[in-house]
A and B are shown apart, each in its own frame.
Chain A
Amino acid sequence: MSSILRSFRENDFVRFAARFSITIILLMGVYRFYLWSTAQQEDLDWITYQVSFLSHKLALLLGVANCEFNCFMDGCRIGVEGKMINVLEGCNGIKLGFVYIAYLIGVNHNYKSTFIQAVLGIITIQFFNVFRIGMLVVLRDLGGDAYFFFIKYIFGVFIYVSIIALWLLKPAIDKRLDKLF
């Protein structure tokens, strides 16, 4: 029995899977606690608010006149009256960032590289998410619900594929970062 356990412990993939799973559970746990504490204060979480706020700014920059921005306890509404979209907690993209970071910690090339890639990854995911929501506000304003829903899912899939691509490119990114630092 102990030899089976030892062979499991010495298996690289099992160690990766354990680190990956534990990191996700820890990050999600902390995040859920944070959501619970903001709900206790009858407040909206900071991440959803910031993503909504920046998306609203982007929509204004892209020329959506009279673009309104209202936040409530469960999320924000952005857009022109009658053509608004709801940015709820599940739209803020932070959980995707957690899964991305969990993979980096699971592989654990070195701490410096993991930290740099985690920060850059979160910024990249949030950048694309704000761009996605800003563009959706514009498309909703321009009309054509079919096009709006098409773009809504295409942008989502693009972010997922980008994360998987970053995972696959990680060895090459690690080599570059090792040379830099």
Chain B
Amino acid sequence: MILLFAFISIDLAAQGGVPPPPSDPPVPLDGGLIALIAAGGAVGYKKYKQRNTEV
């Protein structure tokens, strides 16, 4: 998991690139990627925890 977050952080940091002119704002969508990965992990944890308690 630590490796995964490190990998994603490097990936996001690498997107810095050339800053656009101030009059043309960028419309990024992947700013919350790490939060989405954490949410995926949490949904998975909830799913398997429920399954284990049902058995």
Contact = CB atoms under 8 A, between A and B. Distances in A.
Interface of A: 12-13, 16-17, 20-21, 24-25, 28, 32, 74-75, 77, 79, 82-93, 95-96, 99, 102-103, 106-107, 129, 132-133, 136, 148-149, 152, 156, 159-160, 163-164, 167-168
Contact of B48 (A13, A90, A99): A13
Given A20-B40, A74-B17, A103-B40, A96 B45 contact: no
A174 to B, nearest CB: 12
Interface of B: 1, 3-4, 7-8, 11-12, 15, 17-18, 20, 23-33, 35-37, 39-41, 43-45, 47-49, 51-52
9 contacts: A79-B24, A88-B15, A90-B26, A90-B29, A96-B29, A99-B36, A156-B32, A164-B39, A167-B40
B43 A103 contact: yes
Nearest to B17: A74
B40 A96 contact: no
B27 A152 contact: yes
Contacts of B30: 90-91, 93, 95-96
Contacts of B32: 156, 160
A136 B29 CA distance: 13
B27 A96 contact: no
A13 B4 contact: no
A165 to B, nearest CB: 10
Contacts, number: 116
A13 B36 contact: no
Contacts of B52: 12
Contacts of A103: 40, 43-44
A75 B7 CA distance: 23
A85 B23 CA distance: 8
B23 A20 contact: no
A102 B40 contact: yes
A90 B15 CA distance: 7
Contacts of A91: 26-30
A91 B20 CA distance: 13
Given A89-B15, A96-B29, A82 B23 contact: yes
A55 to B, nearest CB: 9
